[in-house]
Structure 1
Amino acid sequence: MDMNVNSNGVYHEKQVKELCALHALNNLFQNRDAFSKAELDEICQTLSPHVWINPHKSILGLGNYDVNVIMAALHRKGCEAIWFDKRKPPECLQLCFIHGFILNVPSDYRFGFVYLPLRKRHWIAIRQVAGIYYNLDSKLDQPQIIGQENDLMAYLKEQLDSKDKELFIVVNQEVEEKHLWEKEDYDLGAIPR
């Protein structure tokens, strides 16, 4: 058995360097070979080919990839990342058409046990495996069970209550084109601003 697969059969990569975007993508696809650091670095180069310092990753080359890299990587797998408008309730989502979620959260810089007064972003995959939703945060020692659909809705509401967190819905391109990921009766125009 792969050392990254737990007893429930859930693949989970743990944090290395600043590679949370890589881990989130591999955890989302439940496959350690879904993407490599070299592939994400190549995407960065494609996005900004003629620059000395690539704006899509850490200048130290340790990772810290931005949303553009994640979106390009998902596109290579026939998927799209859709930014979720927090003014809508998570119940507007058609979960049967959604591959998973990527949550972007603030994270503190740490040097050993010392927290530095700098902020960076952290990527977390959330997806269903064998009927159960999991938080596949690479900073966790193991996948965290969220539970069934109702538990996922409560979890997403709690996460989206924070103004600093952003949610991306991951769907295949056909679902995105036909807008199948959202229930028709939830219209943004009907939501108070």
Structure 2
Amino acid sequence: MDSERKLIYHERQKLQFCLLHSLNNLFQDKDAFSRANLNAIAEKLDLEDPNKTTRTPLSVIFKPHHNILTGNYDINVLIAALEERGKTVIWHDRRSGASSIDLDEPEDKFFGIVLNVPVRRYGGLWRSKHWIALRRVERVWYNLDSDLYTPYPFKNTEEIREFLDSVISTGGEVLLVKNSEE
């Protein structure tokens, strides 16, 4: 049966495009989203923003919802991209812990999980946030972190809950991605 197991799609990290990689990994499709798609979403959000900030010379590169050179997209781009694909994002209440997440909810309702975790790079000199996708494929949950060399299959739901609780305890955010009910 293992020989019949579906090949898991996994994009690796490039620059600060972890949101792009996370979305493609979540959808298990290298063409689910492109830089151009996410840039267009970010630009649209900027145009529609009623509270536009004052522009500076650096605004050409450091846009309100992303950095045009390196990526580094924000939560607004994630939510808009997922909503375009008929998904709903639910911010998990960190006070509840991971035990309140129904990881066995049917796949036609529960699409996956996106995490936003604090990271330190370059010996702690660079602090940032990193997007990670978790997705269930053929009843197995995978950590599809673009910083990992290969996808990591969780052994069981208890291991996922421990991982999610560690994300929450270190200041990370857990976003549940559901299929929209129409």
Please report the TM-score for the alignment, with normalisation by the length of structure 2: 0.82
The residue identity in structure 1 corresponding to 2:87 is C
Aligned to 1:41: 39
Is this contact kept in 2: 1:146–1:155, CA < 8 A? no
The one-letter code of the counterpart of 1:32 is K
1:94 to partner: Cα distance: 2.7
Deviation per CA, 1:100-147: give whole Å up to 9, x if none. 10111112243xxxx462311100001111111111000111001112
**2:179 equivalent in structure 1:** 172
Match of 1:77 among 74, 80, 85: 85
Say yes or no: does 1:57 pair with 2:69.
no
Indicate the residue corresponding to 1:30 in structure 2: 28
**Amino acid of the residue matched to residue 64 of structure 2?**
P
| Structure 1 residue runs of 4 or more that deviate by more than 3 Å after TM superposition | 50-53
In structure 1, what is the Cα distance between the partners aligned to 2:97 and 2:70? 36
From 162, 166, 177, the equivalent of 1:158 is 166
Structure 1 unaligned regions, length at least 5: 1-6, 178-193
Q: Which runs of 5+ in 2 are unaligned?
A: none
Q: Distance in 2 between matches of 1:94 and 1:109?
A: 33
Task: After TM superposition, list the pairs within 5 Å mapping 1:109-148 onto structure 2.
Answer: 109-110=121-122, 115=123, 117-148=125-156
What is the percent sequence identity of the aligned residues? 39
Q: 2:100 maps to which residue?
A: 92
TM-score (norm 1): 0.77
What is the rounded CA distance, in whole Å, between the counterparts of 1:134 and 1:80 in structure 2?
20
Mark the CA change 1:32 to 1:83 in structure 2 (over 3 Å): closer, same or farther.
same
